[in-house]
Amino acid sequence: MNTQSATWLKRKKQKNKIKACLIVGLGIIGIVLGFYWQSLLLLLLFYIAHELLWSDHIFYNPKSDYLYSFPKAICTKAKLENGRLCLVKGDGLATCDTAVLAISIKSDVFLGTIFDPYVEISDGKHIAKQYFERGLKGKRYINISGWLEKLIDGEVVSIKFKYCQPLPSDIVVYGFCHEDFINKKTLIIAPHADDAELAAFGLYSQVKDVAVVTLTAGEVEAESFSHVYADGKKASLLKGRLRAFDSIAVPQWGGVKPENIIHLGYFCLRLKEMFDDLSKTTISLTAGVDSTKVFREFNSFSLPSDKNNHASGENLIRDLKFLIEKFKPEVIIMPHSQLDPHEDHIYASKFVELAIKESSFKGVEYMLGYANHFHYTDMHPFGPPHSIASLPPNIESVQAIYGLFSLSLSENVQKNKVYALEMMHDLKRPVKLKKVIRSLIQKIIGRSYGRYGYDAYFSKNIKNNEFFYFKK
């Protein structure tokens, strides 16, 4: 996070502290003076206001442009006339399947800070919504992929702005053309169990020849298993084994063949250490083991490193090379190391890139990235389930994106994805009382998105589409 963002976040926290101190001080004074119920009511109203207005995990100034460039996109201007979107010239977009609309938007002064701003896109039959952060002002990207064909044909496509409005500025459409990924051999890399499901369940449910590889057991943060084992190491081992089983079983719910699913059993939050010293054998942070064997019991075939089971970078590269040569993918899907800041996701991508270079198989045509975590917020993609996903906040410096791929998901696939996530043990963590109360308060104004579960992923990742970024 740059200095400007850090300064803004620091000021935001200071303002919240001042508000809290002022209200608590007034409440104490009121109690001392004998205004008991009035003081309690004041504190209650402040708490409600805090949960509605100031408790969002937005770690950047929403009055900032999203900074992206698209060096290989097909670019054309567009215009909005009485709520109707029109392409100035759409001939070049005829072969594109993905498109985003770059437009400057400002939230309404009052309602746009209470309710979530969104746009409603419609062609008269197909209607969908894309949401933004409250209090926004600046350039945003609207995913119009589902309406691109109709726009090119000159049919009516309307965009209605709710709790926000467009600002006078150039409106530009960026289009991206791809081959038929559904019919290409695909390998999906998941740093942890559930990453493949969060990012690409819809995709691997549709691709005809796909394999899923999970790198780590995800055994850390096993506090929710302490009621089973008071010993932290045993609880961690249990969690890792459960997540290893999840990584093998859940892709089958999406139609992946059992023989195309493998769990490598390396240790969570150890990939950086393994990458920095490839020959070093690492030890699990919480399970106290240095062998991957304990987390590989559900695999249907052997791996090269099964001979010694050392959790080392050399072994991970050896395993990945073997899998690339075994599955011979034309497309590899893995975390985007610039957009996804999770340490394991960054180094998972680095290991895959090394393995591709060293592999004897040279048929990888495309590398697509996904992001399940974001630098500036843990709320993106914004909005309720079944809305549209688009580009995440990026405000520090311009991020070059060499291609975008938006895969539309049917309602049936989206709901199957709900239960793919529901089967994942890591998304079944005990719900904190504070989160329950916040959800109840936000229901008052229709801003509680816990339709399928309290975990934010049940809102963020159950969308009309899955979004992927081409790696250079």
Highest mean pLDDT among 176-180, 205-209, 445-449: 205-209
Q: Tell whether 157 and 299 lie within a shared domain.
A: no
Last residue of a domain, one of 176, 208, 236: 176
**Is the pLDDT confidence value at 91 over 80?**
no
Q: Regarding predicted confidence, which is higher, 47 or 146?
A: 146
| 29 burial via Cβ count (<10 Å: 0-12, 13-18, 19+) | exposed
The pair of three-digit structure tokens given for residue 205, joined into one six-digit string: 């449910």
Q: Tell whether 245 and 312 lie within a shared domain.
A: yes
The domain of 98 spans: 68-176
18 is a domain residue? yes
63 is a domain residue? no
Q: Regarding predicted confidence, which is higher, 9 or 279?
A: 279
Alpha-carbon distance values, 390 to 114, 226, 309 (Å): 22, 38, 40
**Is the pLDDT confidence value at 3 over 90?**
no
CA-based nearest residue to 8, from 152, 135, 188: 135
Q: Tell whether 440 and 417 lie within a shared domain.
A: yes
**Is the pLDDT confidence value at 1 over 70?**
no
Overall pTM surpassing 0.85 (yes/no): yes
Whole-number pLDDT of residue 2: 64
Residue 164 β-bridge partners: 107
Whole-number pLDDT of residue 435: 82
CATH number at 433 reads 3.40.50.10320
* Average pLDDT of the residues in 126-151: 96
**Is the pLDDT confidence value at 374 over 80?**
yes
* Average pLDDT of the residues in 45-55: 85
Q: What is the 3-state secondary structure (H, E, C) of 408-434?
A: ECCHHHHHHHHHHHHCCHHHCCCCCHH
Q: Regarding predicted confidence, which is higher, 144 or 43?
A: 144
- Helix crossing, 232-253 with 411-422: angle to 10°? 160
CA-based nearest residue to 265, from 323, 218, 222: 218
Helices (H), 304-431: 313-327, 343-358, 411-422
Q: Could you tell me if residue 371 is left (phi over 0), alpha (psi between -120 and 50 degrees) or otherwise beta?
A: beta
Last residue of a domain, one of 176, 200, 234: 176
Q: Tell whether 277 and 354 lie within a shared domain.
A: yes
Residue for token digits 């054309």? 76
**Is the pLDDT confidence value at 99 over 80?**
yes
Q: Tell whether 187 and 314 lie within a shared domain.
A: yes
279-297 pLDDT tens trace: 999 999 999 999 999 999 9
* Average pLDDT of the residues in 13-32: 87
Q: Is 445 helix (H, G, I), strand (E, B) or coil?
A: coil
Whole-number pLDDT of residue 172: 96
Total count of domains within the chain = 3
- Band (pLDDT 50/70/90 cuts) for residue 450 is low
401-424 pLDDT tens trace: 999 999 999 999 999 999 999 999
Last residue of a domain, one of 176, 191, 221: 176
416 is a domain residue? yes
Q: Tell whether 188 and 334 lie within a shared domain.
A: yes
* Average pLDDT of the residues in 215-222: 96
Q: Tell whether 346 and 452 lie within a shared domain.
A: yes
451 is a domain residue? yes
Q: Tell whether 109 and 128 lie within a shared domain.
A: yes
- Band (pLDDT 50/70/90 cuts) for residue 48 is confident
Tell me the pairing of strands 186-190 and 261-266.
unpaired
Residue 186: how many other CB atoms lie within 10 Å: 25
Residue 262 β-bridge partners: 213
CATH number at 115 reads 2.60.120
Distance CA 118, CA 103 (A): 13
Q: Tell whether 326 and 186 lie within a shared domain.
A: yes
- Band (pLDDT 50/70/90 cuts) for residue 447 is confident
**Is the pLDDT confidence value at 448 over 80?**
no
**Is the pLDDT confidence value at 471 over 90?**
no
Q: Tell whether 219 and 361 lie within a shared domain.
A: yes
* Average pLDDT of the residues in 170-187: 94
Per cent of the chain over pLDDT 90 is 79
17 is a domain residue? yes
- Band (pLDDT 50/70/90 cuts) for residue 266 is very high
Q: Calculate the average pLDDT of the chain.
A: 93
Q: Tell whether 124 and 169 lie within a shared domain.
A: yes
85 is a domain residue? yes
Q: Tell whether 310 and 440 lie within a shared domain.
A: yes
Alpha-carbon distance values, 411 to 204, 218, 229, 383, 386 (Å): 16, 30, 40, 17, 8
* Average pLDDT of the residues in 87-110: 92
| 433 burial via Cβ count (<10 Å: 0-12, 13-18, 19+) | exposed
62 is a domain residue? no
86 is a domain residue? yes
